[in-house]
């Protein structure tokens, strides 16, 4: 069955009031060497939107105050490995000044509700932004830290760890690498050390390209819906496209289902079909030749698109989207082998794809959708010393038609975070297939 979270007809939503108790800056336990004090951007870093990559991890009640306090100590211990995170961005010259200005560390509390009430009652995603230490659009200025974390204690003793890292420096995979490394340091786990690499500027050098647009969390025109596809729901979708081939992945079937629903709701709004562009993100790490380490930090994502004319989009459905999106992702994975073959290939495959995809998304009359897969970054494995998360989430991201796919705790489902303009969401909620998710 499907379970939907974010459609509140039959439930009472809780609100929460977050009180900031303390702000400070954590410096690296070991000073950054002078030869690493200037961190230059790669060509892909330069193109990113001005915003933070964000995530929140939620932990059950814990009376172990020492473990919570150890978060601050362990953060200082791992900052030397993630040395750009303790610096500040120089927008004029497009580099990070890694002079150990420090990462921001915020302590907060919620006294009006318990953590389980927030999770079970389904707090509005916009309110989850209060568990983050920064506005999502607070990036690129010298006054903003590259890394900022917020430790929020609930009245039940539960804890939420909200993390913001500048998208100018990291993508979601890099974000996951940092979370894993911080958790291991806090737990004192010395097995399988995580050794981040900050070398993408050497094989994908910056070109002084124009920055992407700026986003702000104050844009209330964007709403977020969280939809849970459990194991049974995903199997049901797979059964609809079953054949003798290998079953499609969870990500492909959920992306195809939502693309189909979003196109239907777009037709309902505009009365007639529109041409569409669907963008998918592919992590290039371990897929290049030679392979980049999975711990390489930076923005190392290949953007690939599927395009449909107005007539084609009218006839598209879930069953036709599955092979289309699945094959498109497979082709992108195979393209990764050519990225490091020579600089021209890398530029054409990464930069030109990126610019071309965004240009198409911004064309007038085009219905643009963007899917990004966060399901493989092991957030549910992040044990800081008081157990593994009972939930992980993003928040309200002010980018319309963005679908973020998160893993579930049992590693057998997908949580889809669908970000839409409020006027578009009204049609999306009324789609018959989407309405079934609430019953």
Q: In what order do the strands lie in the sheet with 414-421?
A: 2-5, 222-229, 414-421, 402-407, 367-373, 276-283, 301-308
Residue 123 phi/psi, 5-degree rounding, is -60, 150
Residue 242 phi/psi, 5-degree rounding, is -70, 140
Cβ contact 105:26 at 8 Å? yes
Residue 176 phi/psi, 5-degree rounding, is -65, -35
Neighbours of 362 (CB within 10 A): 11
- 421 has which bridge partners? 222
Residue partners of 266: CB distance under 8 A and separation at least 6 = 273, 274, 276, 367, 424, 427
Secondary structure element (H or E) that encloses residue 40, with its range:
strand 38-40
Cβ contact 20:106 at 8 Å? yes
**Catalytically annotated residues:** 167, 383
Task: Report the distance separating Cα 259 and Cα 87, nearest Å.
Answer: 39
Burial of 213-226, coded b for 16+ CB within 10 Å and e otherwise, reads: eebebeeeebbbbb
Cβ contact 320:290 at 8 Å? no
Name the token pair of 260.
């189909």
β-pair type (88-90, 95-97): antiparallel
CA 123 to chain centre: 19
Task: Report the distance separating Cα 369 and Cα 424, nearest Å.
Answer: 13
């Amino acid at each position: 069955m499907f379970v939907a979270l974010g459609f509140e007809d039959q439930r009472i939503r809780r609100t929460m009031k977050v009180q900031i108790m303390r702000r400070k800056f954590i410096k690296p336990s070991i000073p950054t060497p002078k030869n690493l004090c200037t961190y230059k951007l790669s060509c892909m870093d330069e193109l990113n939107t001005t915003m933070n990559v964000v995530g929140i991890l939620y932990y059950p009640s814990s009376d172990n105050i020492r473990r919570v306090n150890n978060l601050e100590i362990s953060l200082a211990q791992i900052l030397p490995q993630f040395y750009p995170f303790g610096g500040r961005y120089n927008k004029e010259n497009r580099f990070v000044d890694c002079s150990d200005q420090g990462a921001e560390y915020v302590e907060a509390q919620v006294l009006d509700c318990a953590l389980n009430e927030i999770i079970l009652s389904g707090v509005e995603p916009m309110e989850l932004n209060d568990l983050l230490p920064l506005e999502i659009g607070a990036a690129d200025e010298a006054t903003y830290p590259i890394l900022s974390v917020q430790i929020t204690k609930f009245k039940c003793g539960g804890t939420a760890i909200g993390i913001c890292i500048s998208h100018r420096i990291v993508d979601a995979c890099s974000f996951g690498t940092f979370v894993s490394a911080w958790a291991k340091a806090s737990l004192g786990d010395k097995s399988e050390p995580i050794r981040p690499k900050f070398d993408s500027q050497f094989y994908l050098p910056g070109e002084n390209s124009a920055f992407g647009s700026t986003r702000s969390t104050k844009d209330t025109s964007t709403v977020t819906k969280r939809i849970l596809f459990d194991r049974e729901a995903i199997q049901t979708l797979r059964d609809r496209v079953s054949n003798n081939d290998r079953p499609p992945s969870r990500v492909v079937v959920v992306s195809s289902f939502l693309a189909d629903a979003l196109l239907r709701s777009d037709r309902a709004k505009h009365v007639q079909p529109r041409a569409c562009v669907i963008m998918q993100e592919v992590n290039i790490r371990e897929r290049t030749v030679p392979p980049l380490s999975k711990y390489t930090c930076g923005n190392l994502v290949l953007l690939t698109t599927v395009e449909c004319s107005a007539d084609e989009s009218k006839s598209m459905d879930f069953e036709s989207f599955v092979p289309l999106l699945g094959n498109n992702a497979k082709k992108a994975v195979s393209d990764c082998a050519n990225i490091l073959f020579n600089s021209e290939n890398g530029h054409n495959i990464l930069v030109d794809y990126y610019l071309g995809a965004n240009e198409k998304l911004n064309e007038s009359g085009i219905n643009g959708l963007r899917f990004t897969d966060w399901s493989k970054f092991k957030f549910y494995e992040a044990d800081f010393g008081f157990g593994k998360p009972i939930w992980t989430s993003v928040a309200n991201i002010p980018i319309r038609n963005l679908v973020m796919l998160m893993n579930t705790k049992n590693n057998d489902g997908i949580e889809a975070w669908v970000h839409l303009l409020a006027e578009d969401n009204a049609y999306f909620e009324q789609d018959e297939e989407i309405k079934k998710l609430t019953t």
